[in-house]
Chain A
Amino acid sequence: MNNKPKIGVYVCHCGINIAKAVDVEAVAEFASRLPNVKVARNYAYMCSDPGQLLIREDIKNEGLNRVVVASCSPRMHEMTFRKTLAEAGLNPYYLEMANIREHCSWVHEDREKATEKAKRLVFSAVAKARLLEPLYENEVDVEPATLIIGGGIAGIQAALDIADAGFKVYLVEKTPSVGGRMSQLDKTFPTLDCSACILTPKMVDVASHPNIDLMTYSEVEEISGYVGNFDVKVRKKARYVDVDKCTGCGICAQECRLAGRIPSEFDAGIGKRGAIYLPFPQAVPAKYTIDPERCLMLTRGKCGKGPKCEAACAAGAINFEQKDEIVEVKVGTVIVATGFDVFDAAKKPEYGYSDYENVITALEMERLVSASGPTGGNIVLGKGEDAFVPKEVAFISCVGSRDKSVGNEYCSRVCCMYTAKLAHLVKEKLPEANVRVYYMDVRAFGKGFEEFYDRVRREGVRYVRGNPSEIFKRGDKLVIKAEDTLRSTPIEDEVDLVVLAVGLEPRKDTRQIIDLLRLSQSADRFYLEAHPKLAPVNTATDGVFLAGCAQGPKDIPDTVAQAKGAASSALVLLSSGKVKIGAQISFVNESTCRGCGYCVEICPYSAVELVSVNRMGNMVQVARVNEALCKGCGACSAGCLSGSIQQRSFMDRQILPQIAVLGGVR
């Protein structure tokens, strides 16, 4: 084939998105006079069917062998137009895009200047397009398995969907039981379903599903590889209990010398457990775990005359010699469902969370009203003789949300409704109590939310618009200082119990997962999705998906929906069994390579190696790229002194003309 460049340039109006600020006709006219340009057209929507047809027809009729589309960001439609080329029988990598929307018409109002810039960008794309080369994608097999990190409702749901579709799932949970935050909740808004009742069957399902390998009390240590072929190392932490022998009878926990002396994570610190414990009664697996940071035997090497748990265990399951175990698995896709942390209320010292016992967080309140909680669901404050039932109860919303002073500008999306739910539960359990909610706005946007909010108000919960400035103690009472901003009156409100509606925050170990999977964070520090609208479960790393609050605060239905979305995205890869991997990867010109190995050192994926080749009878070392491992970053080529390793589609000789055009020396 005669490969003299014949370029078609297509300038998109994008309705008026581009045409408003850029004279698209002038740009097309300009393009038509550029070297090697055969046709240049402008059209309302290049991405539409007729727009794409225009390109295909020209490829056929005009014999185009390169295409430049000047439209939106290539991050948006590069794939679309590559497909267009392919459909017309042209190699899809003969496409170059000029971003005249996001980088031009949307950011410059001056029509004349924007038009000039659009011309430059099109020129630059044409200059590169002349030198494009056909590229071919490699296909690799997809390991028919998924790793799911996090065993909350998001991880559980995604695991069940994928496993039901017939693929292997490794569900890795950091704590001793699956269930996550949802298991800690009492009722769920707005329907008031019992959280545990709807969750536990799913927990049991993941444990018993033949396709799910449940790894609790485990952490992912290392992930390498690429879409379709991730190699994962999981650390199964030592429980010091042989799970095959443990019957879950619980006698060990009763016998433990520290029983009832260690704050229970599950009960948000208000309940107590021992050093050997089951996080909560419905925990899955129902196997006990010894807390290595608390157990006397493990920290000091002795426990009285001998560990009582060991003596009490009839099954002989206690094993203080147990070691962490590293398990290696291979998966094709990864779902990150690591959830969230609750905001640390101590960061708002004006609310006195650290100072006053009866200022508690909403999660603690959940445990207080829960039948499985430390008080059996009775709302009782204080201990022993001082115990009392609160009469005046206040909720404060937006604690750690919508608050720049603590670095959380976002709305946590669940607090308004869980506050209404908890207020309702207080009214239900203590009909005599006076309940009020201090709020900024009430956001009741979901299905049945507004109705529920109305119901709670009708039940007598008083909503006071105003953010308290301070909480202090006067005698036995807590005093809330606030301003009722609807009436513009200052308030001093004496109450028995203050519940802080703490927001959702990215987990403290977010960084660890980022390092494992090379994810990005959005401004709110949650994981960044590939596209906020159109790829909300994808990440920039192929084959890695997000589910649940790891991506941003959301309620249970949204979490489940996203988990199903992530599962379906993973299943697309798993069920097709093949995935195309980048064509824009590096290659070596072995005849100029001097074998210094800089590229080998630089490559983050160990995709380049030195090999011996015979150069006219002499053995010399040259670099060689493993195409399956190369991710196409091009860092090797920038570090190559002889310019011998180059990245396809981003070769020095393709970029230099762009520089020349944009530099503008004529």
Chain B
Amino acid sequence: MSEQYEPNIVAFLCNWCSYAGADLAGTSRTQYPVNLNIIRVMCSGRVNPLFIINALQQGADGVLVSGCHPGDCHYMEGNFYARRRFGLMKELLEYIGVDSRRFNMSWVSASEGGKWKDVVEEVVGKAKEAGPFEQFRRNKINW
């Protein structure tokens, strides 16, 4: 890939943990790559698996879902459902030949601002390695 290639990542973050962790990273003025854009949801369990496919179709080079550590879900079990759904989604995407580095999931708690930075760097780094995603990108905006 060319040096200039900057991937575009869409991230779905749980309001109670990862979103707050990203807030904390901000409060602590932690610097991290600019490539990741966050969509706030109330729970990682809210993330419809079809969002992942849709994000890839709508131009994302990578997708991240981040929720609370197992057992810490603000709503008790949402992250357990998310884990099951996205474990399978990752398998399915890989199976049709989508680079496995494009879809990631992480657990980041509200106090893990430092971990959030690490996650962003890792996700962006992986997407850079994988290169621009064009396999089933849609050509027209849909909103």
Contact = CB atoms under 8 A, between A and B. Distances in A.
Q: Does chain A touch chain B in the assembled complex, meaning CB atoms less than 8 Å apart?
A: yes
B109 A520 contact: yes
B140 to A, nearest CB: 7
B143 A117 contact: no
A650 B14 CA distance: 12
A635 B46 contact: yes
B111 interface: yes
B53 to A, nearest CB: 10
Contact of A631 (B31, B37, B72, B75): B75
Contacts of B17: 520
A520 B110 contact: yes
Output the residue of B26, B27, B39 with the most chain A CB within 10 A.
B26
A665 B45 contact: no
Nearest to B115: A523
A121 B34 CA distance: 12
A664 B23 contact: no
A568 B48 CA distance: 40
A212 B67 CA distance: 40
A124 B22 CA distance: 18
A333 interface: no
A604 interface: yes
B59 A656 contact: no
Contact of A655 (B39, B111, B112): B39
Contacts of A110: 34
Contacts of B111: 520-523, 528
Contact of A635 (B15, B23, B26, B77): B77
Nearest to A643: B48
A109 B29 CA distance: 10
A107 B59 contact: no
Interface string A62-105: 00000000000111100000000000000000000001011100
Interface residues of B, number: 60
B46 A664 contact: no
B23 A520 contact: no
B61 to A, nearest CB: 9
Given A75-B23, A102-B27, A117-B34, A665 B138 contact: yes
Contacts of B15: 75
Contact of A638 (B39, B45, B57, B112): B45
A604 B39 contact: no
A103 B82 CA distance: 23
A359 to B, nearest CB: 34
B51 interface: yes
Contact of B42 (A107, A522, A528, A633): A633
A634 B142 contact: no
B22 A665 contact: no
Contacts of A507: none
Contacts of A514: 71-72
B26 A103 contact: yes
Given A127-B143, A633-B43, A662 B60 contact: yes
Contacts of B51: 655-656, 659
A638 B54 contact: no
A75 B32 contact: no
B58 A663 contact: yes
B8 interface: yes
Contacts of B82: 635, 638
A491 interface: no
A308 B99 CA distance: 75
A615 interface: no
B80 to A, nearest CB: 9
Nearest to B27: A102
Nearest to B84: A639
A114 B31 CA distance: 11
A660 interface: yes
A628 to B, nearest CB: 16
Nearest to A108: B34
A632 interface: yes
Nearest to A640: B48
A106 B46 contact: no
Interface string A108-125: 111001101100110010
Contact of B8 (A518, A528, A663): A663
A107 B31 contact: yes
Contacts of B110: 520, 522, 528, 540
Nearest to B8: A664
Given A523-B112, A652-B48, A664-B8, A107 B32 contact: yes
Contacts of B49: 638
B137 A107 contact: no
Interface in A602-649: 602, 604-605, 631-635, 637-639, 647
A211 interface: no
B19 interface: yes
Contact of A659 (B25, B26, B55, B71): B55
B41 interface: yes
Interface string B55-83: 11111100000001001111111100110
B141 interface: yes
B79 to A, nearest CB: 9
A661 interface: yes
Contacts of A647: 42, 46
Query: Which of A127, A540, A602, A638 has the largest number of chain B CB atoms within 10 A?
Result: A638
Nearest to B79: A635
B20 interface: yes
A521 B73 CA distance: 11
Given A75-B23, A660-B59, 14 more contacts: A74-B40, A76-B23, A110-B34, A124-B39, A521-B109, A602-B81, A604-B75, A605-B75, A633-B43, A638-B46, A638-B49, A650-B46, A659-B39, A666-B141
28 contacts: A101-B26, A102-B23, A103-B23, A106-B29, A107-B25, A107-B32, A114-B34, A124-B37, A515-B71, A518-B75, A518-B76, A520-B74, A541-B74, A604-B77, A635-B43, A635-B82, A638-B49, A638-B81, A650-B41, A655-B51, A659-B10, A659-B60, A662-B10, A662-B60, A663-B8, A663-B56, A663-B58, A664-B58
10 nearest A-B pairs in the assembled complex, by CB-CB distance:
A102-B26, A634-B46, A635-B45, A663-B58, A663-B59, A633-B75, A657-B143, A665-B59, A106-B26, A633-B43
Interface of A: 73-76, 99, 101-103, 106-110, 113-114, 116-117, 120-121, 124, 127, 514-515, 518, 520-523, 528, 540-541, 584, 602, 604-605, 631-635, 637-639, 647, 650, 652, 655-666
